[in-house]
Every structure is written in C-alpha cells, then in structure tokens.
Amino acid sequence: MFMRLVPLFLLLSVQRMRLEACFFVKTIKRMPDCFYRLPQIFINIHTRKFITKRRTIMKDKIFGVLQRVGRSFMLPIAILPVAGLLLGFGGSFTNETMLETYGLLNVMGPGTIPYAIFQVMSEAGNIVFANLPIIFAMGVAIGMAKKEKEVAALSAAIAFFIMHASISAMITINGGTENMLEGATTSVVGITSLQMGVFGGIIVGLGVSSLHNRFYKIELPQVLSFFGGTRFVPIISSLVYTGVGILMFFIWPVIQTGIYALGDLVLNSGYAGTWVYGFLERLLLPFGLHHVFYLPFWQTALGGTMEVGGTLIEGAQNIFFAQLADPTVEHFAVSATRFMSGKFPLMIFGLPGAALAMYRTAKPEKKKAVAGLLLSAALTSMLTGITEPLEFTFIFVAPMLYGIHCVFAGLAYMLMHLFNVGVGMTFSGGLIDMFLFGILQGNAKTNWIWIVIVGIGYFIVYYLLFGFLIKRFDLKTPGRDDGEEVKLYRRSDVEARKNGDNGSEASSEDALSQTICQGLGGKKNISDVDCCATRLRCTVHKAERVDDALLKSTGASGVVHKGNGVQIIYGPRVSVIKSNLEDYLETAPDEEFTAGGNDVDATAHAGVDTNVDGGTNAGVAENANTSSAEATVVETIVISSPITGLAADLSTTPDEAFAGKMMGDGAVVTPEDSVVRAPEDGEVCFVFETKHAIGFLTDSGVSLLIHMGIDTVALNGEGFEVFVENGQKVKKGEPLLGLNLDYLKENAPSLASPVLCTELEDNQKVRLLKDGQIKAGEALFAIDIYE
C-alpha cells in the first residue's frame, strides 16, 4: 500500500512546485522596474563603500608617511640649536662693530685670547650650516629606516657623495660651469655640483631609506651570499644614485626654476602671505607635519635667495646665519626672518599668558598642583620655545582654544613682518634665541624691541581671552575636572585619542609584546633585548621584578634566569617575537611592574624551570613516561646524527633550557668533525642569521633544530660557514654547515650541540639509540609514536 502512494506523492509535489513557480513569475511581472535594478543598486552601494574605504586607507598611508618624514627631519634639526649657539656667540663677539659699541674692543678684540676662542666657535657653528645637505641625507635615512639604522646612515653618506660626483662629471662633460646658468652650481663638500641645497640631502635620505627597508634582509645566491643582508644596501644605493646623479643633471634645473618662481610668489604675497604661513605652521603641529611645512622655507629657495658676502645663499635660515657671520650687514633681511620671528611674541609672552589664565580658572583645591605644572611649562616655553605641553593640552581638552591660538600665531608673524623685525632663530622662539640673535645684535640691526611691545599685548590678550572662554564654556583645562588627575597633555595623548587607543584595538602582536614587556618588569626594567635561534634573551635591571608565570602565559615553554639575564624559550618563531617586542618598546610607556605574587625563588635562579602550577618539567616528563609505558608503539621514526662526535642524553647538556627539554626533546652531540650534515632527507626551513643554528624538516614530517654549541649566538657568525639556504631541499649526508672547531673551542662556552625535535605530539616520545662515539649518518635517537 505504502509503495503505491509514493508515486502519487511525488506527482503532487511536482505539480505544487509548478504552481508555486508560476505564481512567483506572475508576482515578479507585477513588480515595478526598480525591483530589477536592486542588485545593481546593491552593487553600486558596496562599490562606493569599497572605493571610499580604499581612499581612506590610501589617505591614512600618505598621512602616515608624511608624519614619518616629518619626524625624520627632527634629528638633523636638533643639531641646529647647538650650531646656532656657537655661531651666535662666535659671530657676535668677533664682530668689531659690536665690540666697539659695547666698549669691549680692547678686552676682546683681535689678537686677544677671547677673540680667538670666539672665532673658533664661529667656524665650528658655521661648518654645520655649510654642510646641512649631507647632514639631512644621513639624518633622514636614520629616521626613516626601520632597522639597522647605522647601515642606512653609511649608505646615505656614500649615495650623497656618488650622486654629487655623478652630477659633477656631467657638468664637466657638458663644458664645465661656464656653460651653466649663473648661480646654478656650487661646491658641495668640495664637489662642484648643482645648487640643490638640503633638497639634495632629503632626496638621498628618502631614497636610501626606501632601498634600505626593502633590501637589508635580502638573501643572495650562495656564491654571492657575503654581499647579502645589510652589506647589499650601500651597494644598491651606490648603483641607484649613480643613475640619480645623471638624471638630476637634466631634471634639477627645471625643478630649481619652479622653486625660484614659487619662492618669488611667496615673497611677493606680502603681509597676507606671512599670516597664512604662521597660521598653517601652527595648524599642522598636532599632525606632526609642521616640520615638513616650514623646513623648505628655512632651508631652500622657497624661502628666498640672497647674495651674502659674494655667495648666493638659499633659504631663510641660511640667509640669516650667513648675514650673522658677515660683519658688513647693517640690518638682517626681514624677507628671510619673516618666516621665524613671529614665534617670539607667541612663545615668550602669549602662551605664558594662557598658562596664567588656566591657573586662575582652576578650582581652589587644585591650584597648588596646577601651579607647579603650568609654571614649569610656561618657563620652558619662554626660555627654549618648546611649547608641546601647553599646546597639546589645548588640543586635548579644548580644541577651540587651539584654533584661536593658530589665528593669533599667524597674526604674530604678520606683525613682526609689519614692524620690520629681523630676529632669526636656530630651532624655536625662546628667550635664549631672542637674546643671542636679537638683543645682542642691537636694535638697529634687528628691531627686537617690537617683540617686547607686541609680546606684552599678546600676554594680556591671551590671559583675558582664554580666561573668559574657559569660564564661559566650562572648558576642562587642568584643575577644572573633578574626575581627572591634574596633568598636561603631550602628543602621545592626542594620538591615543585620535586613534581610539585604549588598548582595545591593539593588534595581537602588540598584545603579546605588551604581556612580555610586563612580564619582564616593564619597559623601565628592560636593559637589552636580543635572541638566538630559540630564546628571547633579555637583560633586566632588577631580576626580582620578572614574572615567570606571566611570561609562560605568552606561549613560552620555559624561563631561565642567569643573574640579570632572562632567557624566554619560544622556539624558532622567536626572531619574529623579538622584532615585534622591539617595535612595541619604541612607543611603550616608561613603566615598571612588580611580579604579581610570583617571586623569583632559588630554584628559578638555579635554572630549574617551574611551571605555573608549581610542578617542574621533570615531573611532567615523569608523568609522560609513565603514560607512555602503558601504551603501545604503533610507529617509530629514526633520526640520524648530523655530525661525527660524542653522543649523549639531552639532560647532560651544559645549559638549563636544553637540559630541561624546554625547547623540545632529542639528544646532544659534541662535534669532532668540522662538517654538519643533513640528518635525513628533507628541507632547510631556516638558517639563523648568526649561522649557529638550522631549522630542518625531514621528509617524514619531523621538525628538527640543530643548534651548534652553547651560547654561540654571541659569536655573530664567526666560526661558522653556511652551505645551504632557506627552503633548500637536501639529501641525507649533504653538508649544511662548516665549523672552525679551533675557534669555537676557544670562544664558545661549550661545543655540545643539541639536536631537538621541536614539535613533538603528546603521543610521541624520544628514545636515545646511541651513547658515546657516533658518526654522521648513524642512528642517534628514535621517536616512538604511541596509539
């Protein structure tokens, strides 16, 4: 009966499906045309979202690069204050007109010891400004390089010389300087080249850093392996910048013409142009782009050109310091100082007025705490022109105040231009620079008195206006918020708010690095970070602050203490962990932690690795052995010795981490032969950069670590010769490494070389097959696999 009903049931089901399909088609036909467009509309919406997202990502990348470029300028810029002080004092006290004005000619004039000292100071300062291009080339390369910064600096210097030498050769080939436009050539570190100014240095610094970041880890074929890695960077930089030099001979004159034209446009923009410059210079500060903005005006033809002492000088700051060293100058060029002098009334008078307003508007119970902070910040601004704590406090708690501050900044520059103030600076507009380059030079040459007149007005306006706005809009400046600690804010606070950084969006790498940092007692407790093939090697200031349990929670298989040295065993992935930790430490808070109830006891310092739960590795191993003995072996994999020597149980290794099997189980061989060979058919996974260890994967799927000697990572590759490269397939017995046994015996703590299985499963157990004399290729240990 049931079998008869089945065909009928199927027939009814098919008929019903036909009816439903017809109904669906009729319904679709009745729908408006827009229904058919829905998929297209949906695609368009998502396409726009995708494009918008890509644009945002691209914008963020460009913005990030510009920020890095701006920060890279800070290293060469940081030398300018010292050079400026030397040139300022030296140039002023060797100026006979000034000495005669102050009645010092007989005491400090030519022929006296003070005059000779100040003359040396003047030349010492002048040499820095005369060679800023190569200083910027090296400084920018250091700032933009991610790692191995010293290599980037050397490569930049070499590339700088080669680029200008190539340009010089092209000038000679094309008829010499006589056939070049007047003012187009100059002497750069003794090389006749094009007048590129610091742009030449920046071009070299940015280009070399890009080459460096791309190639400093390059691996070349075995025959050229000596030239790989960091050694390749100066080589490729030399070749590239030979071509760049040739190219610049044809391109730079066109660029230079454009820069001159733009410089003329800026100079002819009058007071309005000066206001815009001052406004933008402050407006870009929170984004870290102000260095990128003002530097071309200070150091290139964008800030003007002028002949001083018979030499054509480019850049506002360079013009000022050239005039400072020239005793014949009667008044410093305002066309140059207009890009600098506006900072003085702002930083010496305006911001201290704002600080006083914040103090007066603070709550009575917090005024004492606020007073110390604001007084320190105001004095820093007045003396040195460093304004970060005050300005970033505006940005953080009251962006409206910072917007008003930017408007007044532009006005300060415009007023100094209007009143013909000719005071330059080295780095920022504090009292030190004002005294050296304004007061000391005399009012006739600088009109410095207008800084004081305008500055007093700025102090009053900032005090009254900021005080009114703080009270009117209840702005939470320091001392006005019950729930906040009394503090001033810095760039890091603003960046954290902008990025929404409360730790919630940290990457997994940062989270791991943060935990490791805390486990080591915090950034303040960490002295040095390094690694070998399997261990993160750190030196700490206070070993008792290290939290072993916290470090093990990061995936470490053990922690070994040796005095103030801490070794955290992670296995072959340790090099990545080290790099991430170094990156994290660059921006980590300078804090110190105490081990959370996990004191480093005597057993830990003796090198016995204690697990989080209080048991030792030995106990764990014993439990494993017991459970293994009760199971049945279903497969055995034999691993051969990679070298001729003396084989022994791994527990006899003169190293706590290896002997405690923290990185894996296996055996140890003390080599008597100078060649390390492939223990089985397989693949070279990695050769550690210091050549003392090799990661190896056998064709049977066993991951091995062949670690030659103890603490041989400290030899930095000396005593080792590598015959293979990463990813190379090898047969059993093929050479992997060459050893200089005499050198290693003299310089390594021990030649004992662990051969480890680094990824054993719970059902796998190592069994030693040979104890004593062993030859390369003979069975060393077996891996028994239990059911």
Q: Give per-residue pLDDT as tens, 226-277.
A: 788 888 999 999 999 999 999 999 998 888 888 778 777 777 889 999 999 9
Q: Are residues 424 and 341 in the same domain?
A: yes
The answer, yes or no, to whether residue 211 has pLDDT greater than 80, is yes
* Residues designated catalytic: 532
Q: Is residue 769 part of a domain?
A: yes
* Alpha-carbon distances, residue 446 vs 202, 417, 434, 440, 630 (angstroms): 32, 11, 10, 10, 94
Burial string for 169-192 (b: 16+ CB within 10 Å, else e) reads bbbeeeeeeeebeeeebbebeebb
Q: Is residue 508 part of a domain?
A: no
Identity of the amino acid at 161: F
Q: In the Cβ-directed half-sphere of 750, how many Cα atoms lie within 13 Å?
A: 13
Q: Is residue 311 part of a domain?
A: no
Contact between residue 676 and residue 708 where contact means Cβ atoms under 8 Å apart: yes
CA 423, distance to chain mean position in Å, is: 35
Q: Are residues 393 and 477 in the same domain?
A: yes
Percent of the chain clearing pLDDT 90 (strictly above)? 33
Contact between residue 777 and residue 677 where contact means Cβ atoms under 8 Å apart: yes
Q: Is residue 500 part of a domain?
A: no
Length of the chain counted residue by residue: 787
Q: Is residue 504 part of a domain?
A: no
Residue at a domain's end among 218, 244, 268:
268
Q: When comparing pLDDT for 222 and 85, which is higher?
A: 85
Give the highest mean pLDDT range of 84-88, 411-415, 484-488, 530-534: 411-415
CATH number of the domain enclosing 771: 2.70.70.10
Q: Are residues 598 and 644 in the same domain?
A: no
Residue 666 belongs to domain spanning: 630-786
Q: Quick one: CA dihedral 272, 274, 276, 278, positive or negative?
A: negative
Q: Are residues 257 and 214 in the same domain?
A: yes
The answer, yes or no, to whether residue 655 has pLDDT greater than 80, is yes
Cα–Cα distance, 535 to 531 (Å, whole number): 5
682-687 and 729-730 strand pairing: antiparallel
**Can you tell me whether residue 598 is helix, strand or coil?**
coil
Q: Are residues 36 and 142 in the same domain?
A: no
Among 27-31, 291-295, 406-410, 638-642, the least confident range: 27-31
Q: Are residues 137 and 248 in the same domain?
A: yes
Confidence band (pLDDT; 50, 70, 90) for 391? confident
Output Rg (C-alpha) for the chain, integer angstroms.
Answer: 35
Give the highest mean pLDDT range of 52-61, 207-216, 499-508: 207-216
Q: Are residues 652 and 768 in the same domain?
A: yes
Contact between residue 674 and residue 685 where contact means Cβ atoms under 8 Å apart: no
CATH number of the domain enclosing 523: 3.30.1360.60
Q: Bridge partners of 786?
A: 633
At 492 the pLDDT is 55
Q: Is residue 314 part of a domain?
A: no
Q: Bridge partners of 755?
A: 667, 706
Q: What is the mean pLDDT of residues 330-350?
A: 94
At 673 the pLDDT is 92
Q: Is residue 621 part of a domain?
A: no
Residue at a domain's end among 217, 237, 268:
268
Written as six digits, the tokens of 745 are 């015996």
Q: Are residues 642 and 765 in the same domain?
A: yes
What is the count of structural domains for the chain? 5
Cα–Cα distance, 312 to 644 (Å, whole number): 72
Q: Are residues 564 and 484 in the same domain?
A: no
Cα–Cα distance, 515 to 550 (Å, whole number): 7
Q: Are residues 475 and 535 in the same domain?
A: no
Q: What is the mean pLDDT of residues 689-702?
A: 88
Identity of the amino acid at 325: A
The answer, yes or no, to whether residue 531 has pLDDT greater than 90, is no
Q: Are residues 578 and 637 in the same domain?
A: no
Q: Are residues 484 and 379 in the same domain?
A: yes
Q: What is the mean pLDDT of the chain?
A: 81
The answer, yes or no, to whether residue 591 has pLDDT greater than 90, is no
Cα–Cα distance, 666 to 542 (Å, whole number): 34
Neighbour count for residue 542 (Cβ, 10 Å) = 15
At 335 the pLDDT is 93
Residue at a domain's end among 268, 288, 306:
268
At 480 the pLDDT is 83
Confidence band (pLDDT; 50, 70, 90) for 489? low
Q: Is residue 611 part of a domain?
A: no
Q: Bridge partners of 305?
A: 314
